[in-house]
Structure formats: C-alpha cells, structure tokens
Amino acid sequence: MIPFCILVLRRLGILSAVVALAYFTTFQLFPFFARRIPRLWAVLVTYSLMAYVIIPMAIRLLRFVYKPNHVPVSTTTGDGWASDPVNIAVSAHSEKDFIWAMQKAGWYTSDRKTWKNALREGWALLFDRPYPTAPFSHLYLFGRSQDLGFQIPVGNSPRYRHHVRFWRVDARNDPQERNKKWNEHRGFWRTLFKRFMRHEHSLWVGAAIYDSGPVAIQWRNGQITHRIHPNADFERDFIIESLERANVLRSLTDIKAGEPYRGRGQAVGVTVISDGFVKLCELKRQIIAPHTKAIQKSEPFEP
C-alpha cells in the first residue's frame, strides 16, 4: 500500500510541475516576449527556450532526484530515458578491422557531432543535400555516448538512412571503469558474451534503427528529431545482410539477451519493438583496406 501511495504522490508531483510549466509558458514567458518583439518571433523564441533549455533542465533535475533504473539492453538519452534497443554485437580483430569491414559492406563512419557538423546536417536535411557521414545524436550505454556510428544514406540526404551506434565492451585502461554503473553494465555484457570473447579481439554492442523520415517531435520536450521505424529488428537484419554480401562475416550467433523489448520511442506516436535477441557477428580479419563502397539505395527503405 505504501509503495502505491508513493507512486501516486510522485505522479501527482510530476503532473503539478507540468501544469505549472504550462501556466508559466502561456501566461508569463510568451506575453513577456510578445510585448517586445513581433508575435511570430515571440512564438519561436518561447518554443526554443522551452524545448531546448527549460524542459531539458527540468528533466535532468527530475533524473537527479529520481534515478533511472533501466535494463542495460536499451540505450538511454542524455536525460536518462530509455531509447533504442541494443540488438546487435560485433566481434572483430581490432577497431580498424571493424571499421574496414563496415566500409566494405557499404557503411559510412559518422562524423563527430560539432556545431559545424550539426549545421551542415541541418542544411542537408532542409534542402535535401547529400551528407553521407552526417553526425548522430548522443545515446548512452555504459555511462558514455557511442564510440562509433555507421550509416548508409537512402536517397539524396540524411532524411532517410540506415544507421547504427556501437559501444566497445572490452575497452581497457578506460577511466570510466572506475564508475560503478559502468562496471555493472559491462559485467552484464561480458557475462552474456564470455564464451564468444577472445583476448585478442574487440567486442562491440550496438543499437540499430532506421531513420524513416526527416521530421518528428520528441514527446518529452518538444524538440525536433528524426522519425524512426518502430521495428528495430529489420535494421539489425539489414546490417547482417550487408556484411554477408560483402563477404566479411565469419559467423552469426543468436543470443537471448532478455524479454522482447517494447518501449516508447523518442518521437511522438512511435513505439519501438525488438525480439529480445542480440545477434553476434564475428567478422573475418581484414587484410586489404576497402577501395569502393556498395551501391546505395535510391528509394526509402520500407521493411
């Protein structure tokens, strides 16, 4: 009974905060700007402040008070919300071998997310211009953002693209190993893959998802984001097929990581699903550097 009462009080507190924030936006913040600048600009400034400053700060404060307790088979946003399911793993001789194998399979390595690259990506999205190495937003696993990201653009711009983020499991001499949360999550994955791990190999776990549209709204803060396809398994299987076509895949193993995943995606109206399996791809050692990339699809992918 007591836990139920605590849950009700917590939800009432969150509801009260939402109502207070909506009241402040409607009757304080917007009128403040509307009296000083044209109404359209007042709307844009109010939206930008709420979506990109005030609401994210409120969510971070909430997560500081109410610690997330997510299962480590899903990534999280910077605010601690569960996001894309982890559904693929790769065992490679080295990081260079891994990158070479993905490039031979037609994948581009994503650029680091900087202001310059973000503006270039926005330009490509807005005007349908090519940017095959466009950066990704940061998602988190093991207490850190992705180590590598790969993508295959579909069409002329990043509006539609196959993409996957990867985190290295067996990183050595990493200062984050002293972090308790990092150690717990790494232990989960090392236990899951212990019979497949080799001392001389690197192991990577990834979250694959398909960007199926240029514009969506994040339900938690109103920010603009990509629309994603709800079935993450189709994207995982697409990656495996591309590795097989490039003849860089040595073996494939299905590993039961947990129960089938079903969670609210970042965008409004999207529920992401996955079958609960992580497919482990053991790659062949890459002796020759990649020379050409696979022919890209010209039409949006529809799994």
Residue-wise pLDDT tens for the chain (303 aa)?
A: 666 676 677 777 777 877 888 888 888 888 888 888 888 988 898 888 888 788 777 777 776 666 655 556 788 887 777 788 899 999 998 899 999 999 999 999 999 988 899 899 888 888 888 999 999 988 988 878 999 999 999 888 888 899 999 998 864 444 444 455 555 566 666 677 766 666 667 889 999 999 887 677 777 777 777 778 888 899 999 999 999 999 999 999 988 877 787 777 677 777 888 888 889 999 998 888 887 554 444 444 454
How many other C-beta atoms can be found within 10 angstroms of the C-beta atom of residue 26? 11
Domain co-membership, 91 together with 226: yes
268 and 212 part of one domain:
yes
Q: Please tell me whether residues 19 and 160 are part of one structural domain.
A: no
Whether 137 and 264 map to the same domain: the answer is yes
Q: Is residue 288 part of a domain?
A: no
Q: Tell me, yes or no, whether 40 and 126 share the same domain.
A: no
- Domain containing 121 equals 74-283
Rounded Cα gap, residues 268 and 263, in angstroms: 12
Single residue among 65, 91, 110 that ends a domain in this structure? 65
Instruction: Tell me, yes or no, whether 42 and 145 share the same domain.
Output: no
CB 182 within 8 A of CB 144: yes
Q: What angle do helix axes 2-24 and 55-65 make, rounded to 10 degrees?
A: 160
297 located within any domain: no
Task: Tell me the whole-structure pTM to 2 decimals.
Answer: 0.78
Tell me, yes or no, whether 296 lies in a domain.
no
Residues 128, 274: Cα–Cα separation, whole Å: 30
Distance CA 112, CA 117 (A): 7
Same domain, 153 and 29: no
Residues 82 and 110 in one domain: yes
In a domain, 269, yes or no: yes
Residue (of 243, 184, 193, 177) closest to 89 by Cα position: 193
Q: Report how far residue 134's alpha carbon sits from residue 112's, in angstroms, rounded to the nearest whole number.
A: 8
Would residue 268 count as lying in a domain? yes
Note whether 147 and 266 are same-domain residues.
yes
Structurally, how many domains does the chain consist of? Answer: 2
Kindly state whether residue 210 falls inside one of the protein's structural domains: yes
On the CB side of 281, CA atoms within 13 Å amount to 26
Same domain, 91 and 185: yes
Query: In the prediction, which pLDDT does 135 show?
Result: 92
From the centroid of its chain, how far is CA 200? 28
Judgement on whether residues 20 and 136 belong to the same structural domain of the protein: no
Q: Decide which of 44, 65, 86 is a domain's last residue.
A: 65
Helices (H) and strands (E) in the chain, counts: 8, 14
Same domain, 111 and 186: yes
